């Protein structure tokens, strides 16, 4: 039953790594029996006669709220379609079917095609070494393989460009992308490896397969969901990233959209590039659904799985150590060395405290407010996906995920144009930027919330209702409170996203806003790398605790 | 849902109340600033110190701001618009969104550094240069004209930042001087020959490192870097095209007051201060190394005097940024 849930969950989601941690954190300390009970309790609402419950329960209101939020979330997409229609087919065709778009398409596709396989191989190797071998210090290496997530992608790129100034083009893009994004694959793969039942491997070995063939025929297929989800996430980040590729002069759709935005503000050319980028994103999403397949991965059989045995590396230990050490050197050592170097070169002069504290305050404020808004917006959807699942709910939920998968630049471009053209009072307001953040990061909040609502027994809601509370009050005094830890986790993930967000923030920010990322970008644009260094350091320092938390969660899920 | 919505609305309101003061506390006049942030900051600081009027800068680029102001129309929150180049000013002027500049302010700047319409005024100027690597190019190998860079012999040897308004202003001068067909051809050849970088500083850095022979940028990046550590310009020298060549184009940075400004008096005062002694002195003594344009104002003595540049005569009000973007998009540069 436990396993069933896991598979079921992953089918619904478009897997950022944090989402892998979402399914059922251990209410019973990872004890399968407790989880089994849990899911039995969750099943009950579906079996109850719905009609009798209907008037007493707020399902329809909440469904309505969720539908409303999902519709609003579709605004950016609808907007691009609207602009295309308004622009007229001839102009659209002229703007889309031109050599420049072809170049960008080739660049973007090559980037994804080369980066993702390398990241997969690297992550599988690292995950196997840290989870399934007796590599010395494997816990450390495991943390060091997750830690690069705390460094924003554009800071990785900044570090590399100051180390190797001539770095540019596709291969530079692949190098920095792999380094910046492989943890998105490492996390789910390591988590999946940890919870594999070794009995399957034993059976394969008993049937005469050697260790390599066991790995290829038994272990690897079981990692399929993790690899698919992680690859999708890496792919979406590759499509959406701006700063990383500007530093190393590699043009993708996103950099070209920002160029057009800077040249024409909200001209049709930018919107049409955005349309092509959206199609690329949707293609990735569909591809992942197709490759993911429908196989069953859950374990059947009584009792708990035996503890896995770690493979002995023996004489291979030393060469094997080189891999995680090399990756850590490239992904953590390089940023550490360059940021320290610039800090030393800049001395005390670059610590302009008035500026820095202002940027820090504004960043924190936006991050917290955005996280609260995203979590509030995710609540109705999360609630119905647990309490009243069905085809409508799946449809609504996938709307939210699709919008969350869109690059920030697309969402921001749509919001700028909408507010300028039809909702001017909202233009350049705090509301609009927070709204943008909520759209972009809703899935992060949703997944965490859903997992914790699943653990809140529906009986409590009913008991509260039967004691005379109105439906909403009943919900408030039971499920909402019980899901607080999940909500907090989701908020942390959203806040992390907002802290390191650059493109949408620049386009939507109210006058006078200057976040850490904006300040970093502005200084590094004037190649004042020393002045940018303190901002890079602060962003990393703010992201580290949340990355650590992610790491701990992924460990806890496997019951360790 | 009523309650859920009102909770949401309440939360949003509360947020607004907390944030209102946090981000939108008394902002004074709002300046859409496309000039270098450090220069605008010095201007704002000096102005506030002298008058007590607060200035909030929103930083961006020429083209996005000019198009943004046009899109915002009468509802624009901006009071003042400062640019690096003229085409963006011309765009806003064409949309009829500027208030006339005070006569006193106009009188502070010579005729040649302002449009005939008096809707905006020059606040600084910059010269086009060919920055080259001294080890890679000798004086006799330098291009005689900007147009020479279209020659196949320059393939893979020069750089520019086509997404920036600076370079687009240079193209707009070319368009004004040589016409549409010649410009389109030149851009096509450029696409073949040049290497794209983002930002003029980055172009200079690449030239300095010997990644590329030379690049078309503005003069002050070199002087700014020399004044700091020189680490990005040590191997760089500047070549001025002169001879009224399109490549000798001097671009006028403009300032204007929006007709929709809610603080027209303060906005006009700001523009007056920037074009007056205080603002122009910042150009002479500060770290921007842009040319001062005020009457009797001195530029930094390290610069080649503005009068010696033999720049082509171009009416800044006639520079057509829209057409330039269109041509550059067609050439596949954007």
- Least confident span in A31-40, A402-411, B23-32: A31-40
Q: Which residue of B has its CA nearest to A166?
A: B211
Domain hosting B164: range is: 126-249+321-330
Instruction: Say if CB A69 and CB A395 are below 8 A apart.
Output: no
Note whether A263 contacts B163, CB cutoff 8 Å.
yes
Note whether A266 contacts B12, CB cutoff 8 Å.
no
Return the CA Rg of chain A: 24
CA angle A479, A481, A487 (to 5 degrees): 95
- Looking from the CA of A98 toward its CB, the CA atoms found within 13 Å total 18
Q: What is the pTM of this model?
A: 0.81
**DSSP letter at B291?**
B
- Looking from the CA of A557 toward its CB, the CA atoms found within 13 Å total 29
Q: Which residue of B has its CA nearest to A249?
A: B197
Distances, alpha carbon B10 to alpha carbons A373, A475, B7, B14, B41, in Å = 11, 18, 5, 6, 37
The pLDDT value given to residue A41:
33
As given in the structure block, the two tokens for residue B218 are 């503005």
Q: Is residue B309 part of a domain?
A: no
B15 CB neighbours in chain A (<8 A) are 369, 372-373, 430, 434
Query: Are both B40 and B165 inside the same structural domain?
Result: no
Query: Are both B61 and B177 inside the same structural domain?
Result: no
Query: Are both B28 and B63 inside the same structural domain?
Result: yes
Note whether A61 contacts B4, CB cutoff 8 Å.
yes
pLDDT, mean of residues A274-299: 83
Q: How far apart are the first and last CA of chain A?
A: 20
Token look-up 């005729």 returns: B111
The pLDDT value given to residue A25:
35
Quick check: helix, strand or coil at residue A105?
helix
pLDDT, mean of residues B158-175: 93
B199 CB neighbours in chain A (<8 A) are 525-527
As given in the structure block, the two tokens for residue B205 are 């850095």
The pLDDT value given to residue A36:
30
Query: Which of B261, B270, B276, B282 has the alpha carbon at shortest distance from B48?
Result: B270
Note whether B196 contacts A434, CB cutoff 8 Å.
no
Nearest CA distance, A301 vs chain B (angstrom)? 44
Quick check: helix, strand or coil at residue A252?
coil
pLDDT above 70 for A42:
no
B1 CB neighbours in chain A (<8 A) are 61-62, 64-65, 68
For residues A390-415, one letter each, b for 16 or more C-beta atoms within 10 angstroms of the residue's C-beta and e for the rest, the string is eeebeebbbbbbbbbbbbbbbbbbbb
Quick check: helix, strand or coil at residue A488?
helix
Distance, in Å, from the CA atom of B209 to the CA atom of A358, rounded to the nearest integer, reads 36
Name the residue facing B334 among A260, A379, A424 (closest C-beta).
A260
Number of domains chain B contains: 2
- Confidence band of A45 (pLDDT split at 50, 70, 90): very low
The pLDDT value given to residue A28:
32
Report DSSP letters for B109-146, one per residue.
Answer: S-GGGS-TT-SSEEEEEEEEEEEEETTT--GGGS-SSG
Distance, in Å, from the CA atom of A12 to the CA atom of A315, rounded to the nearest integer, reads 44
Residue with the bigger pLDDT between B22 and B169: it is: B169
Distance, in Å, from the CA atom of A396 to the CA atom of A386, rounded to the nearest integer, reads 13
The pLDDT value given to residue A52:
43
Instruction: Say if CB B181 and CB B330 are below 8 A apart.
Output: no
Query: Are both B199 and B326 inside the same structural domain?
Result: yes
B11 CB neighbours in chain A (<8 A) are 372-373, 376
Query: Are both B57 and B142 inside the same structural domain?
Result: no
Kindly state the helix (H) or strand (E) to which residue A498 belongs, with its residue range: helix A484-499
Query: Are both B325 and B198 inside the same structural domain?
Result: yes
Nearest CA distance, B107 vs chain A (angstrom)? 31
Nearest CA distance, A166 vs chain B (angstrom)? 7
Sketch out chain A's domains with CATH numbers: 2-32+57-297+317-557 (1.10.3720.10)
pLDDT above 80 for A555:
no
Distance, in Å, from the CA atom of A153 to the CA atom of A148, rounded to the nearest integer, reads 9
As given in the structure block, the two tokens for residue B131 are 């920055």
- Confidence band of A557 (pLDDT split at 50, 70, 90): low
Read off the pLDDT of residues A152-183 as tens digits, 9 standing for 90 and up.
Answer: 999 999 999 989 888 889 999 999 999 999 99
Query: Are both B182 and B85 inside the same structural domain?
Result: no
Phi and psi, residue B118, nearest 5°: 70, 15
Q: Is residue B316 part of a domain?
A: no
A372 CB neighbours in chain B (<8 A) are 11, 15
* Strand pairing report for B236-239 and B55-59: unpaired
Mean pLDDT computed over every residue of chain B: 89
Distance, in Å, from the CA atom of A280 to the CA atom of A479, rounded to the nearest integer, reads 38
Query: Are both B119 and B53 inside the same structural domain?
Result: yes
The pLDDT value given to residue B275:
96
Instruction: Say if CB A13 and CB A447 are below 8 A apart.
Output: yes
As given in the structure block, the two tokens for residue A369 are 């407010």
pLDDT above 80 for A151:
yes
Residue with the bigger pLDDT between B261 and A476: it is: B261
- Least confident span in A77-91, B158-172, B211-225: A77-91
Name the residue facing A369 among B15, B63, B201 (closest C-beta).
B15
pLDDT above 70 for B293:
yes
Beta bridge partners of B160: B196
Query: Are both B59 and B115 inside the same structural domain?
Result: yes
The pLDDT value given to residue A82:
85
**Domain containing residue B193: CATH number:** 3.40.190.10
Is some CB atom of chain A closer than 8 A to the CB atom of B74?
no
As given in the structure block, the two tokens for residue A73 are 């979330």
pLDDT above 70 for A234:
yes
The pLDDT value given to residue B25:
59
Mean pLDDT computed over every residue of chain A: 83
Q: Which residue of A has its CA nearest to B71?
A: A420
Give the number of A-B residue pairs with CB atoms closer than 8 Å. Answer: 141
Which of A102, A258, A262 to mutate to probe the B interface, most B CBs <10 Å? A262
* Angle of the A59-73 helix axis to the A430-454 helix axis, nearest 10: 130
Return the CA Rg of chain B: 21
Distance, in Å, from the CA atom of B305 to the CA atom of B289, rounded to the nearest integer, reads 12
The pLDDT value given to residue A314:
87
Give this complex's ipTM: 0.77
Is some CB atom of chain B closer than 8 A to the CB atom of A248?
no
Instruction: Say if CB A22 and CB A448 are below 8 A apart.
Output: yes
Kindly state the helix (H) or strand (E) to which residue B81 belongs, with its residue range: strand B80-82
Q: Is residue B307 part of a domain?
A: no
Residue with the bigger pLDDT between B144 and A75: it is: B144
Read off the pLDDT of residues A347-376 as tens digits, 9 standing for 90 and up.
Answer: 888 899 988 999 999 999 999 999 999 999
Token look-up 């709910």 returns: A393
Q: Which residue of A has its CA nearest to B196?
A: A249
Distance, in Å, from the CA atom of B237 to the CA atom of A149, rounded to the nearest integer, reads 42
Note whether B67 contacts A369, CB cutoff 8 Å.
no
Kindly state the helix (H) or strand (E) to which residue B196 belongs, with its residue range: strand B194-196
* Ramachandran assignment for A275, one of left (phi > 0), alpha (psi -120 to 50 degrees), beta (any other): alpha
A357, burial (CB in 10 Å: exposed 0-12, middle 13-18, buried 19+): exposed
Report DSSP letters for A190-249, one per residue.
Answer: HHHHHT--HHHHHHHHHTT--HHHHIIIIIHHHTHHHHHHHHHHHHHHHHH--HHHHHTT
Read off the pLDDT of residues A489-537 as tens digits, 9 standing for 90 and up.
Answer: 888 889 989 998 988 998 898 988 899 999 999 888 888 889 999 999 9
Query: Which of A490, A430, A66 has the alpha carbon at shortest distance from B23?
Result: A430
Query: Are both B292 and B166 inside the same structural domain?
Result: no
* Strand pairing report for B121-133 and B250-258: antiparallel
Q: Is residue B315 part of a domain?
A: no
| Interfacial B residues in 163-202 facing A (CB < 8 Å) | 163-165, 168, 196-199, 201-202
Kindly state the helix (H) or strand (E) to which residue B49 belongs, with its residue range: helix B37-51
The pLDDT value given to residue B136:
94
Which of A162, A264, A364 to mutate to probe the B interface, most B CBs <10 Å? A264
The pLDDT value given to residue A33:
32
Q: Is residue B208 part of a domain?
A: yes
The pLDDT value given to residue B269:
96
Q: How far is CA A69 from the centre of its chain?
A: 20
The pLDDT value given to residue B137:
94
User: What percentage of residues in chain A have a pLDDT greater than 90?
Assistant: 35
Note whether B24 contacts A265, CB cutoff 8 Å.
no
The pLDDT value given to residue A57:
54
Query: Are both B152 and B34 inside the same structural domain?
Result: no
Nearest CA distance, A250 vs chain B (angstrom)? 9
- Least confident span in A82-96, A317-331, A369-383, B240-254: A82-96
B168 CB neighbours in chain A (<8 A) are 263
Note whether B201 contacts A525, CB cutoff 8 Å.
yes
Provide the total of helices (H) and of strands (E) in chain A, helices listed first: 31, 0
A47, burial (CB in 10 Å: exposed 0-12, middle 13-18, buried 19+): exposed
- Confidence band of A266 (pLDDT split at 50, 70, 90): low
**Torsion of Cα atoms, B75 then B76 then B80 then B82, to 10°:** -150
Longest dimension (CA), chain A: 72
pLDDT above 70 for A280:
yes
**Torsion of Cα atoms, A260 then A266 then A268 then A272, to 10°:** 70
Residue with the bigger pLDDT between B301 and A304: it is: B301
Distance, in Å, from the CA atom of A84 to the CA atom of A89, rounded to the nearest integer, reads 7
A29, burial (CB in 10 Å: exposed 0-12, middle 13-18, buried 19+): exposed
Q: Is residue B195 part of a domain?
A: yes
Distance, in Å, from the CA atom of A296 to the CA atom of A288, rounded to the nearest integer, reads 17
Residue with the bigger pLDDT between A298 and B280: it is: B280
- Least confident span in A114-123, A125-134, A255-264, B86-95: A255-264
Q: Is residue B306 part of a domain?
A: no
Token look-up 């946090």 returns: B22
A3, burial (CB in 10 Å: exposed 0-12, middle 13-18, buried 19+): middle
Token look-up 């980066």 returns: A115
pLDDT, mean of residues B218-233: 90
Query: Are both B104 and B132 inside the same structural domain?
Result: no
């Amino acid at each position: 039953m436990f396993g069933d849930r896991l598979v079921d969950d992953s089918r619904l989601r478009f897997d950022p790594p944090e989402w892998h941690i979402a399914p059922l954190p251990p209410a019973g300390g990872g004890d399968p029996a407790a989880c089994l009970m849990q899911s039995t309790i969750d099943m009950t609402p579906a079996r109850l006669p719905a009609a009798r419950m209907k008037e007493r329960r707020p399902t329809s209101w909440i469904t309505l709220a969720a539908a409303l939020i999902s519709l609003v979330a579709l605004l950016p997409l609808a907007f691009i379609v609207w602009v295309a229609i308004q622009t007229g087919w001839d102009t659209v065709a002229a703007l889309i079917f031109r050599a420049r778009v072809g170049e960008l398409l080739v660049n973007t596709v090559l980037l994804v095609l080369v980066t993702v396989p390398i990241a997969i191989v690297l992550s599988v190797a690292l995950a196997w070494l840290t989870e399934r071998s007796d590599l010395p210090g494997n816990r450390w290496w495991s943390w060091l393989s997750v830690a690069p997530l705390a460094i924003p992608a554009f800071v990785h790129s900044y570090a590399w460009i100051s180390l190797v100034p001539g770095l540019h083009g596709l291969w530079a893009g692949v190098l920095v992308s792999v380094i910046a994004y492989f943890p998105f694959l490492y996390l789910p793969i390591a988590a999946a490896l940890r919870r594999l039942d070794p009995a399957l491997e034993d059976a394969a070995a008993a049937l005469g397969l050697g260790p390599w063939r066991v790995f290829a025929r038994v272990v690897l297929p079981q990692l399929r969901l993790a690899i698919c989800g992680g690859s999708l996430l890496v792919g979406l980040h590759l499509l959406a990233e701006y700063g990383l590729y500007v530093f190393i002069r590699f043009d993708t759709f996103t950099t070209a959209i920002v160029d057009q935005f800077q040249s024409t503000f909200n001209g049709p050319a930018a919107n049409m590039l955005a349309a092509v980028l959206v199609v690329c994103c949707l293609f990735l999403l569909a591809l992942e659904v197709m490759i993911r397949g429908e196989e069953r991965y859950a374990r059947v059989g009584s009792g708990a799985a035996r503890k896995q045995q770690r493979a002995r590396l023996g004489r291979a230990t030393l060469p094997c150590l080189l891999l995680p050490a090399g990756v850590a050197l490239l992904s953590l050592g390089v940023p550490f060395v360059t940021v320290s170097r610039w800090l030393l070169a800049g001395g005390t002069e670059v610590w302009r405290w008035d500026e820095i504290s202002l940027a820090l305050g504004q960043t924190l404020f936006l991050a917290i407010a955005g996280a609260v808004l995203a979590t509030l917006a995710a609540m109705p959807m999360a609630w119905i996906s647990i309490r009243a699942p069905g085809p409508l709910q799946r449809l609504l939920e996938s709307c939210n995920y699709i919008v969350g998968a869109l690059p920030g630049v697309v969402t921001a471009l749509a919001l700028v144009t909408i507010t300028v053209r039809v909702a001017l009072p909202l233009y350049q307001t705090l509301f609009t930027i927070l709204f943008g953040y909520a759209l972009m990061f809703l899935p992060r909040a949703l997944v965490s919330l859903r997992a914790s609502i699943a653990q809140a027994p529906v009986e409590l809601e009913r008991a509260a209702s039967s004691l005379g509370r109105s439906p909403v009050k009943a919900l408030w005094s039971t499920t909402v409170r019980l899901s607080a830890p999940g909500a907090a986790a989701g908020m942390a993930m959203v806040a992390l996203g907002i802290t390191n967000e650059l493109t949408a923030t620049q386009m939507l920010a109210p006058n006078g806003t200057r976040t850490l990322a904006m300040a970093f970008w502005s200084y590094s644009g004037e190649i004042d790398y020393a002045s940018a260094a303190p901002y890079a350091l602060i962003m990393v320092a703010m992201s580290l605790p949340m990355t650590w938390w992610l790491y701990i969660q992924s460990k806890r899920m496997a019951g360790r | 849902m009523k309650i859920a919505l009102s909770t949401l609305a309440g939360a949003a309101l509360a947020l607004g109340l907390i944030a209102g003061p946090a981000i939108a506390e008394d902002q004074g006049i709002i300046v859409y600033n496309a000039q270098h942030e450090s220069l605008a900051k010095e201007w704002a600081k000096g102005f506030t110190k002298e008058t007590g009027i607060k200035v909030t800068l929103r930083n961006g680029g020429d083209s996005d701001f000019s198009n943004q102001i046009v899109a915002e129309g009468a509802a624009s929150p901006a009071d003042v618009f400062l640019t690096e180049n003229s085409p963006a000013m011309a765009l806003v002027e064409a949309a009829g969104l500027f208030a006339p500049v005070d006569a006193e302010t106009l009188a502070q700047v010579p005729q040649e550094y302002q449009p005939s319409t008096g809707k905006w005024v020059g606040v600084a100027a910059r010269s086009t240069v060919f920055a080259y690597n001294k080890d890679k190019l000798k004086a006799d190998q330098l291009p005689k004209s900007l147009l020479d860079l279209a020659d196949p012999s320059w393939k893979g040897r020069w750089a520019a930042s086509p997404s920036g308004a600076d370079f687009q202003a240079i193209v707009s001068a070319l368009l004004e001087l040589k016409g549409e067909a010649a410009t389109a051809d030149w851009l096509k050849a450029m696409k073949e020959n040049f290497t794209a970088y983002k930002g003029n500083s980055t172009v200079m850095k690449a030239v300095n490192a010997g990644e590329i022979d030379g690049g078309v940028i503005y003069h002050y990046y070199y002087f700014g870097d020399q004044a700091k550590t020189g680490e990005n310009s040590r191997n760089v020298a500047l070549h001025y095209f002169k001879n009224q060549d399109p490549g000798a184009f001097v671009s006028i940075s403009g300032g204007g007051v929006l007709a929709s400004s809610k603080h027209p008096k303060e906005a006009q005062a700001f523009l007056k201060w920037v074009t007056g002694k205080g603002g122009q002195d910042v150009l002479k003594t500060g770290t921007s190394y842009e040319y001062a344009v005020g009457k009797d104002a001195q530029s930094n003595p390290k610069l080649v005097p503005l009068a010696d540049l033999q720049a082509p005569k171009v009416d800044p009000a006639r520079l057509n940024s829209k057409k330039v973007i269109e041509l550059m998009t067609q050439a596949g540069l954007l």
